[in-house]
C-alpha cells in the first residue's frame, strides 16, 4: 500500500512538473515571500551606566564583545589627534599585566582584542571567551600609559602623517572635512605634525580618565553564550568600572555656502581626480523623512543600479564607480556624491554629477525606480534580519538614538509607505545642488584648463591643509639640456630622421575641408629654401592665395592683390621650406604644457607658439597671435594623424580655428620632390 | 590531574570541530558542469554562484587583463537580459551581486532572499548560455577597467609592489603579469578575440555551480537541471603552463612609487602550489612572524627595536606557485639593509631551531580560530566550496583542511624554512618614493 501511495505521489509530481513547464527564456517570478522573525536580544544596565545587549546564537562555537563609548565628539584644537592617540596606546599593558604578557595571552588563545578611542572589541572561540572578556575589561579599566610607549606612538604618528602626504584620497577627504564642517568642528579638524607635538603623556592620561568611562557606553555580546552566565560575568568584570563626569561641549553648527562653489586642491601626482559634491544636512535616524531620504539617495547613487553609476560608469565610462551617500548623524550629517575619474574627464564628470543631483531635485523619480529601491531595502532587511549581528545592531541603535522599541518591526512598513512626492521633497531638502561645496582634488596642470571653461561657479584653491591658496602653476619645469633646437631635432627624428628630412626638397599637399556645406580645397606647395604657395579654392573659384618666391611675394583675396612688404616680407624671408620647423630652432623653449592630457614642449617663435609632444616628439599644435581690428586674436592650428609618405611622416589632419569657424582639413594627396616648379611661386 | 585536563581539552576540540561540519552534496551534470549544494535554513537567504576555472594566467601573453575584462563584459547583458538591466534585476528583487577575478579563476555570485533561488539560477545560466558581447560594451568597459586600475593601483600608495615583485619572481609562467593586465593589451584586443575567449573558457565543463542557503534540495536540483542541463558541453581546456627555473642567486631590484614618502623593503621567495602541505606550513610561518602583537616581526621590529613602522609576511598562495613576501617600512632613519638583516636573522632562527612548544600551540589555536570563523556566512561557505573544488580538486577540504594544519609539526616548520627561505632563492626589492629616482 505504501509503495502505491508513493508512486501516485510521484505521478502527480510528474504531471505537475509537465504543467509547470517553465519558459527558460523568461525571467522567473519570485516565490512567496519568506517568513522572517525578528530576534530578541537580552538587555540589562549596570549601575555605572554601562548598557549591555546580548544575542545568543549557537551556530558556531565562538563569541564576540563590542564596546561602544558613545560620547559626544569633542573639538581638540591645537592638540588634534589626542583621543585617537589615547586609543592607540590602550591595551599596552594594565596595572596588573605587562604589555608583553597581555599580547601574548591574546595571541596564544588565537583571539583578537582591540582598543580604540571610542571603545574596544574582542572575539575568540567560545571556550576562551571568559578569559578574553576578562583581558578586555582589564584593558578598559586599568590601562597604563608609559613615556616609552607614548614617545614611540608620537614617532609612528608623525611617520604615518608623512606617509599620507602624497595619498590623493587621504588628502582629498581631509580637506573636504575641514571645509565642510569648519576648522573649529570636531569633524573638521585633523591631526598635524604640530598638533601631535603639542600632546603630552599627561594629556593622554587625562583624556583616558575623563572620557573612557561607562556613562554613555554599550557592550554588545554576540555568539555561543549563555546569557545568564554572561550577565554574571559582565557584572563581575565591568561592575567596578568607575563612572566619570563627561565635560559638556557645544558643537558649532556646520553651514553650507550661500551658493555652490568649486574648491580645488592641487596634487601633482594624481592620475585621477577625486570629485565630491558635498553639503551639510540635518538628518537623524528615525526622523519622519528618514526613509524617503534613504530611498532618494538610493535612487540617485546607492549602488550599481543607481543613476550616478549608470550615467558616469555604464554610459560614459568616466569612472569605476560613482555613488552618493547620506550620512545621518545626531551632531552633523552630510550628503556626498562622489566619483574618482581620470584627469581628462574631470570637468565633464563634475557636470554630470551636478546634473544628476539637480534632476532628482526638480523631477519626480519614476514609479519603477521607487519600487525597485524599496525592493532593495526589503531584500537587505529580509536577508540580514536573522543574523545575530543585525539583531544586536538594531538593539544598539534603538538605545543610542532613543528610538521606539518597535522601530525595526515597523521599518518595512515605513519604507513601503514612501511616495514619489516624499522622495522629491527629501531630495530638495537634503541634496543641495544649489548650496554645495564641490571638491576636486587632482592634477591642476591637466585638469584646470577644462574645468575653468566648464564650470558655472568660481574656483577657489586650497592647499593640502585646507588653507586658501592661489592657482597652481600651469606649466612644468624644462629638463636640463632641452632647448628649442633639441626639440626640433627630436621632431625631425620622430618624422623619419634628419637625413630623410634633408632629402625632401619640395612638398605639395592637397587637403579638403567642409565649411557650411561648401568643400574647400587647400593646396600648399613648399620648396627649399623658403619658397611657399598656399591657395584656398572652392566651388570652382580661388578664395585666397599667398605666394613667396624666396625674395618677394604677395597675397590675393577676392581679387585684390597686396604685395608683401615690411614685417610680413621679413617674416616670409626668414621662413624655412619645406619644413618651417627648421626656423623654430631660433625660437625660445618657454615651457612644458599639457594638451589633452599629454605634455608638450612649447617653443615661442615670433608671433607663434609651437607645441611638440614630449613623448612622441611630434608637432601637435601651433598658435599664432594675429592683430585684428578688435585687438589680438589667437589662431590655433592642430596637427594629427601622422602617416608616412616617402619615408617621412606628415600630419594627415589639420584643424584651424578662426573666430567662430572650425576648419578640419584632411589630406587628399601629398607629393614629395615632384609636382612643384618655380612657376608655382610666381 | 593535569592529564585529565588535557584530555578534556582534546575532547572539546573534537566536538567543536564536528559541530561545524559544512554538509554538502556534489554531482556533475551531463555536460560536465559540477554542482555543489549546501543547505542551511537558519536564515531566508540563498546564494547562487559560479566559479569558472579561468583567470589571468590563461591569457595570451600579449593580451593580459583579458580574464578580468571579461568579467566586466559578462554583466553587459544576455539574449534575455537587456544591456544595463543585470544589476537592476538583482536589486529590484532584493538581491546583491558581484564578481571577481584572480590569476586562477573568475567568480560570479548573487545573494537573494530565498524566494528568488530560481532567478539566481536563471541569471547565471543566461550568463553562460546567452551572453551578448558587442563592441559598444567592449568600448565602455575598456574605459571603466582603466578607471579601476587608476583607482586601485595608480593612485594608491604601495599598490604597485605586487606587480614589481611578480615581474622578478616569474620569468616564464604567466604569474609574471598582473590580473588587471596591461592597458595597451586591452586596447589592442578585438571583438573576435573576446568571442574566442568566451567560447574556450566559458563552458559548463569548466565551471562549478554552488547553491547554498535556505533551499529545498530536491527543488534546487530540478531547477539546476532545467537551467543548466540544456547548455552544451564545450571543448576541454588544455592547461600547460611553463615551469619556472629555480632561482639560484639573490635577485636585487628597485621599484618606484609616486604616491609614497616612506620606502619599503621586500623579500620575496618563490614557493610551491597552494595545494601542497608545504604551502600551508608557510601559512603558519606567516602567522608566526606577523599575526598579532606578540608575533616575531611585529614584536621585534615595531615594538621592541622601533626600527619599523610596519612589518609582516604575506603568503600569496596560488594554484601553480606561491609567492612568499616579507616586508617592512622603516621608522625614521633606519636603513632598508638593516631591516633585511633583522628579518633574515629571524628566518635563520627558524631554520636552525625548533619554535617553542608554546608558540606551536599558539599557532594551532590561531588556525583553529581562523577555521571556525571562515565558515561564518553562507556567502563565505559558497565561495570556499567553489574554491576548494575548482582550485584544489577536493571540495571536502572545507572540513578537512584544518586537519592538515593540525598535522604540521615543529619539525615541518623548520624543514620548510630550510627548503624555501634561503637568500639565494629570493628577490630583495627596495620599494622607493618616485622622487628618489
pLDDT at B9 over 50: no
In the prediction, which pLDDT does B266 show? 96
Per-residue model confidence as pLDDT tens digits over A200-243: 999 999 999 999 999 999 999 999 999 999 999 999 999 999 99
Residue A1 lies in a domain: no
Q: Shortest CA distance to A355 belongs to which of A393, A310, A409, A419?
A: A310
Give the whole-angstrom CA distance, residue A383 versus residue B97: 13
Q: What is the pTM of this model?
A: 0.81
Examine residue A253 and state whether it is found in any structural domain, yes or no.
no
User: What pLDDT does residue A601 have?
Assistant: 93
CB atoms within 10 A of CB B358: 10
Strand-pairing partners, residue A610, are A603, A622
Dump the DSSP string for B99-118. EEE-SS-EEEEEEEEGGGHH
From the list A152, A162, A386, which residue is nearest B42 (CB)?
A386
- Are B139 and B278 in the same domain? no
**DSSP structural state of residue A366:** P
- Helical axes B191-201 vs B66-73, angle rounded to 10°: 90
- The closest of A668, A634, A639, A635 to A654, measured between CA atoms, is A639
- Residue A482 DSSP SS3: coil
Side by side, the strands of the sheet bearing B308-317 are: B251-257, B426-433, B264-272, B321-330, B308-317
Count the domains in chain A.
3
Q: Is residue B355 domain-shared with residue B214, that is, in the same domain? A: no
Contact A106 B292 (CB under 8 A): yes
Whether A16 is covered by a domain: the verdict is no
Please check whether residue A9 lies inside any domain of the structure: no
A521-558 pLDDT tens trace: 999 999 988 899 999 888 888 888 889 988 888 988 87
Task: Measure the CA–CA gap between A268 and A472, rounded to whole angstroms.
Answer: 10
Question: B261 to chain A: nearest residue by CA?
Answer: A163
Q: Count how many pairs of residues, chain A against chain B, have C-beta atoms within 8 Å.
A: 220
Q: What's B397's domain CATH number?
A: 3.30.830.10
- Do both A90 and A155 map to the same domain? yes
Does residue A597 share a domain with residue A567? yes
Structural domain boundaries enclosing A48: 42-166+183-238
Judging contacts by C-beta atoms under 8 Å, the chain B residues touching residue A32 are: 115
Say which range, A473-482, B56-65, B205-214, B253-262, has the weakest mean pLDDT: A473-482
Q: 3-state DSSP call for residue A138?
A: helix
* Option in B119, B291, B293 nearest A28 (CB): B119
- In the predicted structure, residue B5 carries a pLDDT above the cut 50: no
Determine, yes or no, domain membership for A21: no
Question: Interior CA angle at A352 toward A443 and A362, to 5°?
Answer: 145
- Exposed (0-12), middle (13-18) or buried (19+): which is A498, by Cβ within 10 Å? exposed
Measured CA distances, A511 to A525, A559, A651, A657 (Å):
12, 23, 11, 16
Q: Are B394 and B327 in contact (CB under 8 A)?
A: no
**Which is higher by pLDDT, A493 or A3?**
A493
ipTM: 0.85
**Cβ atoms A387, B43 nearer than 8 A:** yes
Length of chain B: 437
User: How many Cα neighbours within 13 Å face the side chain of A105?
Assistant: 22
CA distance A273 to A426: 29
Are both B281 and B177 inside the same structural domain?
Answer: no
Residue of A nearest to B129 (CA): A25
pLDDT at A12: 40
pLDDT of residue A21: 61
Same domain, B37 and B129: yes
Residues B215 and B266 both lie in one domain? no
What are the chain B neighbours of A272 within 8 Å (beta carbons)?
A: 147, 150-151, 154-155
Domain that residue B32 falls in: 24-228
Is the model more confident about B15 or about A140?
A140
User: Both A233 and A295 in a single domain?
Assistant: no
Per the domain annotation, does B239 fall within a domain? no
SS3 content of chain B, % helix, strand, coil (to 5): 50, 20, 30
Residues of B in contact with A305 (CB under 8 A): 87-88, 90-92
From the CA of A448, how many Å to the nearest CA of chain B? 19
**Chain B contact present for A28, CB below 8 A:** yes
Question: Distance between CA A143 and CA A107 in Å, rounded?
Answer: 18
Asked if B259 and A166 come within 8 Å (Cβ–Cβ), the reply is yes
What CATH number does the domain containing A540 carry? 2.50.20.10
Last residue of a domain, one of A412, A444, A469: A469
> Does residue A608 lie within any of the structural domains?
yes
Q: Which three cell numbers stand for residue A488?
A: 626640433
Average pLDDT score over residue span A662-673: 90
Minimal Cβ distance to A305: which of B87, B115, B117: B87
Assess whether pLDDT exceeds 90 at residue A307: yes
On whether both A280 and A154 belong to a single domain, the answer is: no
* Residue A515 and residue A664 share a domain: yes
Q: Which of the two residues, B332 and B380, has the higher pLDDT score?
A: B380
Identify the three-state secondary structure at position B319.
coil
Are B276 and B221 within one domain? Answer: no
Does the pLDDT of residue B422 top 60, yes or no?
yes
How far is Cα A244 from Cα A216, in angstroms, rounded to an integer? 10
DSSP 8-class letter at A481: T
pLDDT at B437: 64
- Neighbouring CB atoms inside 10 A of B301's CB total 27
- Tell me, yes or no, whether A92 and A124 share the same domain: yes
CB atoms within 10 A of CB B174: 19
pLDDT band of A599, cuts 50, 70, 90: confident
3 state SS of A152:
helix
Does a structural domain hold residue B243? no
Selection from A131, A283, A124, A146 nearest residue A202 by Cα = A146
pLDDT tens profile B114-147: 999 999 999 999 999 999 999 988 888 888 888 8
Q: Which helix (H) or strand (E) holds A82?
A: helix A82-89
Tell whether A668 is covered by a domain.
Answer: yes
- Are B284 and B221 found together in one domain? no
Other beta carbons less than 10 A from residue B404's beta carbon: 15
Of B94, B118, B370, nearest to A382 by CB-CB distance is B94
Q: How far is A398 from chain B (nearest CA, A)?
A: 23
pLDDT of residue B290: 93
What is the rounded average pLDDT of the residues B43-49?
Answer: 95
A61 at interface of B, judged by CB pairs closer than 8 A = yes
Contact of A125 with chain B, judged by CB distance below 8 Å, is answered with: yes
A409, A444, A469 - which closes a domain: A469
Sheet bearing B106-113, strands edge to edge? B25-28, B34-39, B207-213, B45-52, B106-113, B96-101
Residues in chain A with CB shorter than 8 Å from the CB of B156 are 167, 169
How high is the pLDDT of residue A13?
Answer: 41
All three cell numbers of A573, joined, read 624671408
**A458-469: average pLDDT:** 95
Residue A635 in domain: yes
Contacts of B259 in chain A (CB under 8 A): 166-168, 269
Candidates B366, B352, B346; CA nearest to B408 is B366
Rounded CA separation B56/A391 (Å): 41
Q: What is the pLDDT of residue A218?
A: 98
Residue B364 lies in a domain: yes
Residue whose grid cell is 599627561: A202
A305 and A194 fall within a common domain: no
List all residues 6 or more positions away from A300 whose beta carbon is below 8 Å from its beta carbon.
A306, A307, A308, A324, A337, A356, A357, A360, A427, A431
- Residue B222 inside a domain? The answer is yes
Secondary structure, 3-state, A657-669: EECCEEEEEEEEE
* The three grid cell numbers given for residue B82, joined into one nine-digit string: 537587456
Q: Express each pLDDT in A245-281 by its tens digit.
A: 999 999 999 999 999 999 999 998 888 999 999 999 9
Residue B267's SS3 state is strand
CA distance B348 to B143: 48
First to last CA, chain A: 116
B380-415 residue pLDDT tens: 999 999 999 999 999 999 999 999 999 999 999 999
What confidence tier does A6 reach under pLDDT thresholds 50, 70, 90?
very low
Cell, residue B68: 578580468
3-state secondary structure of B373: helix
When divided into structural domains, chain B yields a total of 2
pLDDT band at B12 (very low <50, low <70, confident <90, very high): very low
Indicate the residue of A106, A167, A305 with minimum beta-carbon distance to B91.
Answer: A305
Q: Is residue A18 predicted with pLDDT exceeding 60?
A: no
Order of strands across the sheet that contains A459-462 = A319-327, A333-342, A272-281, A437-442, A261-266, A459-462, A468-469
Q: Do A303 and B87 meet the contact criterion of CB atoms below 8 Å apart?
A: yes
**Which residues of chain B make contact with A9, given a CB cutoff of 8 A?**
none
Domain shared by B170 and B82, yes or no = yes
Query: B276-316 pLDDT, tens per residue?
Result: 999 999 999 999 999 999 999 999 999 999 999 999 999 99
DSSP per-residue letters across A530-561 = TEEEEEEEETTEEEEEEEE-SS-EEEEETTEE
Kindly state whether residues B54 and B193 are assigned to the same domain. Answer: yes
Measured CA distances, A263 to A233, A255, A341, A450 (Å): 53, 16, 16, 15
| B1 pLDDT above the threshold of 60 | no
Helix pair angle (A290-301, A367-384), 10° resolution? 110
Residue B415, classed as helix, strand or coil, is helix
Are B295 and A107 an interchain contact pair (Cβ–Cβ within 8 Å)? yes
- The enclosing domain of A408 has a CATH number of 3.30.830.10
- Is A26–B80 a contact, with Cβ atoms under 8 angstroms apart? yes
∠ CA A263-A264-A270, nearest 5°, is 145
pLDDT of A463 above 90: yes
> What residues of A are in contact with residue B132 (Cβ under 8 Å)?
none
**Together in a domain, A326 and A455:** yes
What cell numbers appear for A648 in the block?
Answer: 617621412
pLDDT per residue as tens digits for the range B337-356:
999 999 999 999 999 999 99
Q: Nine-digit cell at A675?
A: 609636382
Query: CB-based contact (8 Å) between A101 and chain B?
Result: no
Candidates B263, B294, B381: best to mutate against A (most CBs of A within 10 A) is B294
Same domain (yes/no): B194, B288: no
Closest CA to A595 of A269, A342, A344: A344
- B140 with B255, same domain? no
Residues of chain B with C-beta less than 8 angstroms from the C-beta of A20: none
In a domain, B132, yes or no: yes
Residue B392 domain flag? yes
pLDDT at A229: 96
β-strand partners of A518 = A515
Q: Give the gap in angstroms from C-alpha B146 to the nearest C-alpha of chain A.
A: 8
Amino acid at each position: 500500500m505504501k509503495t502505491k501511495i508513493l508512486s501516485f505521489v510521484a505521478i502527480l509530481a510528474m504531471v505537475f512538473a509537465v504543467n509547470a513547464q517553465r519558459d527558460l527564456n523568461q525571467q522567473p517570478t519570485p516565490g512567496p515571500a519568506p517568513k522572517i522573525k525578528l530576534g530578541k536580544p537580552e538587555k540589562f544596565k549596570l549601575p555605572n551606566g554601562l548598557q549591555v545587549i546580548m544575542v545568543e546564537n549557537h551556530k558556531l562555537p565562538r563569541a564576540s564583545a563590542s564596546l561602544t563609548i558613545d560620547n559626544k565628539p569633542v573639538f581638540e584644537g591645537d592638540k588634534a589627534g589626542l583621543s585617537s592617540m589615547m586609543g592607540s596606546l590602550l591595551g599596552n599593558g594594565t596595572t596588573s599585566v605587562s604589555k608583553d604578557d597581555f599580547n601574548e595571552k591574546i595571541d596564544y588563545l588565537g583571539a583578537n582584542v582591540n582598543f580604540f578611542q571610542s571603545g574596544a572589541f574582542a572575539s575568540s572561540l567560545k571556550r576562551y571567551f571568559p578569559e578574553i572578556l576578562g583581558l578586555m575589561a582589564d584593558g578598559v579599566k586599568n590601562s597604563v600609559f608609559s613615556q616609552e610607549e607614548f614617545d614611540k606612538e608620537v614617532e609612528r604618528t608623525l611617520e604615518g602623517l608623512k606617509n599620507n602626504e602624497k595619498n590623493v584620497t587621504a588628502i582629498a577627504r581631509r580637506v573636504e572635512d575641514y571645509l565642510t564642517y569648519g576648522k573649529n568642528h570636531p569633524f573638521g579638524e585633523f591631526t598635524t605634525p604640530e598638533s601631535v607635538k603639542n600632546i603630552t603623556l599627561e594629556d593622554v592620561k587625562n583624556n583616558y580618565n575623563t572620557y573612557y568611562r561607562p556613562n554613555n557606553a554599550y557592550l554588545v555580546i554576540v555568539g555561543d553564550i549563555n546569557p545568564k552566565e554572561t550577565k554574571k560575568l559582565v557584572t563581575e568584570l565591568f561592575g567596578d568600572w568607575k563612572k566619570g563626569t563627561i565635560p559638556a561641549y557645544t558643537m558649532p553648527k556646520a553651514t553650507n555656502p550661500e551658493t555652490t562653489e568649486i574648491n580645488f586642491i592641487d596634487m601633482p601626482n594624481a592620475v585621477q581626480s577625486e570629485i565630491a559634491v558635498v553639503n551639510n544636512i540635518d538628518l537623524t535616524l528615525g526622523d519622519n523623512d528618514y526613509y524617503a531620504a534613504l530611498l532618494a539617495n538610493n535612487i540617485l547613487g546607492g549602488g550599481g543600479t543607481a543613476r550616478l553609476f549608470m550615467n558616469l560608469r555604464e554610459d560614459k565610462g568616466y569612472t569605476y564607480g560613482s555613488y552618493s551617500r547620506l550620512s545621518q548623524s545626531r551632531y552633523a550629517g552630510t550628503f556626498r556624491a562622489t566619483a574618482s575619474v581620470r584627469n581628462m574627464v574631470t570637468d565633464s564628470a563634475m557636470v554630470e554629477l551636478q546634473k544628476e543631483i539637480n534632476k532628482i531635485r526638480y523631477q519626480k523619480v519614476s514609479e519603477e525606480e521607487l519600487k525597485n529601491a524599496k525592493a532593495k531595502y526589503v531584500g537587505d532587511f529580509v536577508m540580514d534580519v536573522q543574523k545575530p549581528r543585525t539583531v544586536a545592531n538594531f538593539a544598539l541603535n534603538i538605545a543610542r538614538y532613543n528610538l521606539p522599541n518597535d522601530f525595526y518591526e515597523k521599518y518595512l512598513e515605513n519604507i513601503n509607505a514612501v511616495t514619489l512626492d516624499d522622495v522629491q521633497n527629501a531630495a530638495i531638502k537634503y541634496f543641495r545642488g544649489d548650496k554645495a561645496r564641490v571638491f576636486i582634488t587632482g592634477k591642476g596642470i591637466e585638469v584646470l584648463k577644462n574645468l575653468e571653461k566648464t564650470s558655472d561657479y568660481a574656483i577657489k584653491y586650497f592647499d593640502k591643509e585646507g588653507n586658501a591658496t592661489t592657482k597652481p602653476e600651469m606649466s612644468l619645469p624644462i629638463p636640463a639640456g632641452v632647448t628649442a633646437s633639441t626639440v626640433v631635432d627630436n621632431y625631425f627624428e620622430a618624422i623619419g630622421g634628419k637625413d630623410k628630412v634633408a632629402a625632401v626638397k619640395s612638398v605639395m599637399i592637397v587637403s579638403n575641408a567642409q565649411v557650411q556645406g561648401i568643400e574647400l580645397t587647400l593646396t600648399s606647395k613648399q620648396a627649399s629654401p623658403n619658397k611657399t604657395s598656399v591657395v584656398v579654392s572652392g566651388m570652382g573659384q580661388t578664395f585666397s592665395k599667398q605666394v613667396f618666391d624666396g625674395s618677394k611675394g604677395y597675397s590675393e583675396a577676392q581679387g585684390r592683390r597686396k604685395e608683401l612688404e615690411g614685417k610680413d616680407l621679413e617674416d616670409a624671408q626668414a621662413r624655412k621650406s619645406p619644413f618651417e620647423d627648421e626656423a623654430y630652432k631660433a625660437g625660445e623653449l618657454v615651457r612644458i604644457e599639457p594638451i589633452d592630457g599629454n605634455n608638450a614642449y612649447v617653443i615661442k617663435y615670433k608671433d607663434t607658439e609651437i607645441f611638440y609632444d614630449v613623448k612622441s616628439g611630434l608637432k601637435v599644435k601651433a598658435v599664432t597671435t594675429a592683430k585684428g581690428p578688435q585687438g589680438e586674436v589667437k589662431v590655433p592650428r592642430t596637427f594629427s594623424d601622422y602617416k608616412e609618405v616617402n619615408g617621412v611622416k606628415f600630419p594627415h589632419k589639420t584643424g584651424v580655428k578662426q573666430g567662430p569657424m572650425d576648419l578640419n582639413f584632411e589630406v587628399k594627396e601629398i607629393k614629395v620632390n615632384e609636382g612643384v616648379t618655380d612657376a608655382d611661386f610666381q | 590531574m593535569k592529564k585529565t585536563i588535557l584530555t578534556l581539552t582534546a575532547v572539546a576540540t573534537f566536538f567543536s570541530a564536528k559541530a561545524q561540519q559544512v554538509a554538502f552534496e556534489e554531482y556533475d551534470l551531463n555536460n560536465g558542469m559540477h554542482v555543489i549544494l549546501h543547505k542551511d535554513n537558519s536564515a531566508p537567504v540563498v546564494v547562487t554562484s559560479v566559479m569558472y576555472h579561468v583567470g589571468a594566467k590563461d591569457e595570451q601573453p600579449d593580451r593580459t587583463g583579458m580574464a578580468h575584462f571579461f568579467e566586466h563584459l559578462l554583466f553587459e547583458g544576455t539574449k534575455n537580459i537587456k544591456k544595463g538591466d543585470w544589476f537592476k534585476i538583482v536589486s529590484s528583487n532584493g538581491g546583491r551581486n558581484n564578481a571577481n577575478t584572480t590569476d586562477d579563476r573568475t567568480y560570479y555570485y548573487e545573494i537573494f532572499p530565498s524566494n528568488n533561488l530560481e532567478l539566481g539560477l536563471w541569471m547565471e545560466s543566461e550568463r553562460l548560455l546567452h551572453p551578448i558581447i558587442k563592441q559598444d560594451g567592449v568600448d565602455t568597459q575598456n574605459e571603466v577597467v582603466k578607471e579601476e586600475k587608476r583607482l586601485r593601483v595608480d593612485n594608491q600608495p604601495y599598490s604597485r609592489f605586487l606587480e614589481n615583485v611578480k615581474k622578478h619572481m616569474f620569468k616564464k609562467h604567466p604569474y609574471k603579469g598582473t590580473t588587471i593586465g596591461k592597458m595597451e593589451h586591452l586596447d589592442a584586443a578585438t571583438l573576435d578575440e573576446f568571442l574566442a575567449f568566451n567560447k574556450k573558457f566559458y563552458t559548463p565543463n569548466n565551471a562549478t555551480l554552488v547553491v547554498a542557503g535556505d533551499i529545498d534540495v530536491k527543488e534546487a536540483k530540478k531547477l539546476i537541471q532545467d537551467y543548466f542541463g540544456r547548455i552544451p558541453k564545450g571543448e576541454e581546456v588544455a592547461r600547460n603552463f611553463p615551469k619556472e627555473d629555480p632561482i639560484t642567486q639573490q635577485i636585487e631590484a628597485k621599484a618606484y612609487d609616486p604616491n609614497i614618502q616612506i620606502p619599503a623593503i621586500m623579500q620575496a621567495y618563490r614557493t610551491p602550489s597552494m595545494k601542497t602541505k608545504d604551502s600551508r606550513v608557510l601559512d603558519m610561518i606567516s602567522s608566526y612572524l606577523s599575526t598579532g602583537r606578540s608575533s616575531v616581526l611585529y614584536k621585534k621590529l615595531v615594538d621592541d627595536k622601533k626600527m619599523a613602522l610596519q612589518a609582516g609576511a604575506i603568503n600569496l598562495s596560488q594554484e601553480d606557485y606561491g609567492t612568499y613576501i616579507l616586508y617592512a617600512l622603516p621608522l625614521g632613519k633606519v636603513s632598508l639593509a638593516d631591516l633585511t638583516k633583522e628579518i633574515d636573522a629571524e628566518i635563520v632562527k627558524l631554520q636552525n631551531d625548533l619554535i617553542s612548544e608554546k608558540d606551536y600551540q599558539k599557532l594551532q589555536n590561531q588556525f583553529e580560530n581562523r577555521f571556525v570563523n571562515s565558515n561564518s556566512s553562507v556567502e563565505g561557505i559558497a565561495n570556499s566550496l567553489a574554491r576548494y573544488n575548482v582550485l584544489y580538486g577536493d571540495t571536502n577540504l572545507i572540513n578537512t583542511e584544518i586537519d592538515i594544519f593540525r598535522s604540521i609539526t615543529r619539525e615541518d616548520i623548520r624543514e620548510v624554512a630550510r627548503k624555501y627561505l634561503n637568500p639565494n632563492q629570493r628577490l630583495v626589492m627596495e620599494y622607493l618614493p618616485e622622487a628618489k629616482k
